[in-house]
Structure formats: structure tokens, C-alpha cells
Structure 1
């Protein structure tokens, strides 16, 4: 996809690099030339301009972009003005970072439905990791349900999903399994990566050090984490 990111602070820059690594064509925008120079060789295009100046958008492929992300995190006014200009100029999806409850209200009034709160979301994920010691990572679906990566309980090792009766006993669905695998690069160095095994079957046997990706209620995920 073609994605334009406005604001190359910590969040915007990390997002630009991550999206590039996953095969997207990313254009990074910031009014600070130093930030633009940091990513100029790492993403498709990086441009120094003031995103609050509507005339400056003539130099951007704004109408051809699939997604525009407003990642500005230092100036709420600039973030709101930038979002308003983008909303006016493109029919593509607009994702905007919010810095406050009032900012949320303004974005919603503009018709922005994709609003992100990086700091709050990062804090929530860290809270989950701290509270549930055996959770590796977690994605909230709503207030009650999550998709979580959990460490395999010792008593699961060597047993199949059918034997464990995960769904009936624990009220969870195993979406997939992450399994450690050694990988050797071109210069001969060996690293350990987590490989997705695909959709597990009832006969899939759980191995030591597997990471189970499960879907279920937060309460039920918490119960299985307590088994470690």
C-alpha cells in the first residue's frame, strides 16, 4: 500500500520503518529536516514540509495514497489542522493520533473513525504483561476479550490439542502456535526466531517452549496463565 505518515517523532518514525519492512511504500513527512534525514535511506520517500500549510500538499501524492497517518505528537493544534487538510484532500483512509480527550472529540467531529493513542495502548499492553506474568503479548478485541500469546504450561507439553480439550476445559481457542527455530544467515551466524506453524489441528502436539496464540475472555486467559 501507499502510506503517508505526517510526523516523524518516536511513534511516527517507528511506524514508518515497520510499515516499510512489511512491504509498504511509505512517504514520511516532517518539518524538522534532521528527522527527515534520519529516515531518508530507510523508507521510500521522506520530505521536509509544514503539514499545516495546505499549499505545500501540491508536492505530495496525497490523492493517490491509500492511508494517511497523522502521527504528530508534540503540537495538538498542528495535528488537528493537518488532519483537517488531509480529510479535505483525500478519499483514502485517515488515521490520526490523539493527544487528549478534547482532541478525540474534535477528530470524531471531523468524521475520523480510526483514532490511536500510542502511549495509552503501550501502557495497557505493559500492564497486561505485568499483571499476567506468562503473557508474551496481547491484543485487546474489546473490554472482555483478547488475542494473547502465552507461554505453554508445563503440563501441556507432549500432549495434543485434542488431548488437552482446550476449548471445553479452558474456554479458549488456539489460533496458532509460535515455535522457536534456528535460522542461519548469509554470513553463517545463527539466530533463534519464532516461526508460525499455521492453523493447528486437533492432532498438533504441544512442544516445550511453544508460544500459544489464544483467543478468549481475559478471565479465562488469566486462569490458564496461572497454571505456569
Structure 2
């Protein structure tokens, strides 16, 4: 995909690098030359311009863009103006960072479906990890349901999924299991990585250090997330 990211602060720069690493063509835009120079050799293109100036967009392939991300985090007014200009000039999918509840309201009124709150989302994710001692990672589907990676409680080790009967006893579905595998690289150095075992069957045995990927209500995930 062709992605243009407006705003190369911590969030915008991290997103630009991550999208580049996963095979996307990324153009980074910022009004500060020092930020543009920091990333210019790491993504497809980086451009210094004022995104609140509609005339400046002539330097961008805005009409050929698949996704436009407004990642501006220092100036709410600039973020809103940039979003409005992009909505006017192209039909790309627009993803906008919100800096406040009022910003949320404005973006929703503009018809922006995908609104991100990176600081709040990072704080919520860390809170989940700190509150649940066995939590590895967590992805919230909505306010009630999540897909979570949970370290295997001691009581589950050596038992099969059928023995544990997750659906009846915990009202959870096991999506998959992440299991440690030792790998040796080209120079002979061994490393341990977590690998997905695929779709587990009822007779799959839970092993020490397994990470269970479960889906269900947050309250039910909390129960096994706090088991010893």
C-alpha cells in the first residue's frame, strides 16, 4: 500500500518505520526539517511541508494514496485542518490521531471512522498487563471482549485442552498456543522464540512456558490471568 503519514513525532515515526518494515510504501511529512532528516533514509520518501497549506499538497501523490494518517500530536488545530484538506483532496482511507474529546467530536463530524488515541491505548494496555500478573499481551475487541495472550497457569501444565474444558469451566475459547522453540542461526547461535502451533485440538497437551491465546469476556480472561 501507499501510505502518507502527516506528523513525524514519536507515534508517526514509529508507525512509518513499522509500515515500511512490513512492505508498504511510506511517505513521511512534517514541517520540521530535523524530523524529516531523521527518517529520510529509512522510509520511501520524507518531505518537509506545512500540511495546513492546501497549495503545498501539489508536492504529494495524494490522489494515488491508499491511506492517509494524521499523526500530528502537538497542534490540535493543525491536525484538524490537515484532516479537512485530505478529505477534500482525495478518497483515501483517513486515519486520524485525536488529542482530546472535542477533537474526537470534530473528527466524527467530519466522517472519520478510524480515530486513534495512542497514549490512552498504550496506557490501557499497560494497565491490563500490570493488573493481570500472567498477561503477556491483550487486544480489546470492544469494552467487554478481548483476545489475550496469557502465561499458562501451573494448574494447566500437563493437561489437555479437553481435560481443562475451557468452554465449560472458564467460558473461554482457546484460539491457539504460543510455544517456545529453539532455533539456530547461520553462525550457530541458538535462540528461543515463541511460535504459533496452529489450531489446537482437544488432545493438545499444555506445556510449561506455553502462552495461551484466548478469546472471551474480559472478566473471564481475568480469572485465568490471575491464576498461579
Return the TM-score normalized by structure 1.
0.95
Kindly state the Cα deviation for residue 170 of structure 1 after the two structures are TM-superposed: 0.8
Kindly state the Cα deviation for residue 183 of structure 1 after the two structures are TM-superposed: 3.0
Task: Find the aligned partners of 2:191 and 2:43 in 1 and give their Cα distance.
Answer: 26
Kindly state the Cα deviation for residue 193 of structure 1 after the two structures are TM-superposed: 2.1
Structure-to-structure mapping, 1:1-228, within 5 angstroms: 1-228=1-228
Query: What per-residue deviation string (whole Å, max 9, x for no partner) do you get for residues 9-57 of structure 1?
Result: 0001111111112222211111111111221121121111111111111
Kindly state the Cα deviation for residue 133 of structure 1 after the two structures are TM-superposed: 1.2
Q: Secondary structure at the match of 2:8?
A: coil
Query: What per-residue deviation string (whole Å, max 9, x for no partner) do you get for residues 119-170 of structure 1?
Result: 1111111111111111111111111111111000112112221221111111
Q: Could you list the runs of 5+ residues in structure 1 that have no partner in the other structure?
A: none
Kindly state the Cα deviation for residue 206 of structure 1 after the two structures are TM-superposed: 1.4
Task: Find the aligned partners of 1:41 and 1:185 in 2 and give their Cα distance.
Answer: 28
Q: Could you list the runs of 5+ residues in structure 2 that have no partner in the other structure?
A: none
Task: Find the aligned partners of 2:183 and 2:69 in 1 and give their Cα distance.
Answer: 34
Q: Secondary structure at the match of 2:133?
A: coil
Task: Find the aligned partners of 2:77 and 2:115 in 1 and give their Cα distance.
Answer: 16
Query: What per-residue deviation string (whole Å, max 9, x for no partner) do you get for residues 195-219 of structure 1?
Result: 1222222222211111111111111
Task: Find the aligned partners of 1:20 and 1:213 in 2 and give their Cα distance.
Answer: 27
Kindly state the Cα deviation for residue 187 of structure 1 after the two structures are TM-superposed: 4.0
Going from structure 1 to structure 2, the CA distance change for 1:184 and 1:44 (only over 3 Å counts) comes to farther
Q: Secondary structure at the match of 1:221?
A: helix
Task: Find the aligned partners of 1:103 and 1:226 in 2 and give their Cα distance.
Answer: 37
Q: Secondary structure at the match of 2:86?
A: helix
Task: Find the aligned partners of 2:189 and 2:158 in 1 and give their Cα distance.
Answer: 30
Q: Secondary structure at the match of 2:175?
A: strand
Task: Find the aligned partners of 1:109 and 1:219 in 2 and give their Cα distance.
Answer: 34
Count residues with an aligned counterpart.
228
Task: Find the aligned partners of 1:38 and 1:191 in 2 and give their Cα distance.
Answer: 32
Kindly state the Cα deviation for residue 192 of structure 1 after the two structures are TM-superposed: 2.3
